[in-house]
Amino acid sequence: MPRKTAVKSLSASAKLIKAAHAPTPAEEREAAFQHIAAQISEFFDAGYLVVSWVENGETMSMDVAVGNKFAAQGMIQEAAEKMSMDEVDLDDYGDGLEEV
């Protein structure tokens, strides 16, 4: 087999292997979430990320604490206490939370 043909065959095989190992939407979602968590941990001492999505009619979620885990736990507890009050003031949560 001439070298040029061998290179073309290997290139075609590499494309097939890559296509066969393409990440699933769930793997892409997990990678994006971990990337965001890593970026946040570079700029902040502590944090807690919670995300959700609907998959096959079921609500799924992921969460991760970044940085100082004890500080993140304290922030989670404080947020839970605020949210359990009879009247929650959405202004306490900044621009990211909207009333629905």
Assigned token pair, 99: 């009333």
Q: What is the C-alpha separation between 54 and 72, in angstroms, rounded?
A: 26
φ/ψ of 65, rounded to 5, equals: -95, 135
Residue-level pLDDT at 59: 95
* 87 within some domain: yes
Residue-level pLDDT at 98: 47
Alpha helices in 1-100 (DSSP H): 3-20, 25-43, 69-84
pLDDT tens-digit profile of 32-53?
A: 999 999 999 999 999 999 999 9
C-beta atoms surrounding 66 within 10 Å: 19
Range of the domain at 66: 25-96
Q: Give me the percent of the chain exceeding a pLDDT of 90.
A: 44
The list of the chain residues with pLDDT below 50 reads 6-7, 97-100
What domain count does the chain have?
1
Residue-level pLDDT at 85: 73
* 10 within some domain: no
* 81 within some domain: yes
Q: What is the C-alpha separation between 50 and 34, in angstroms, rounded?
A: 12
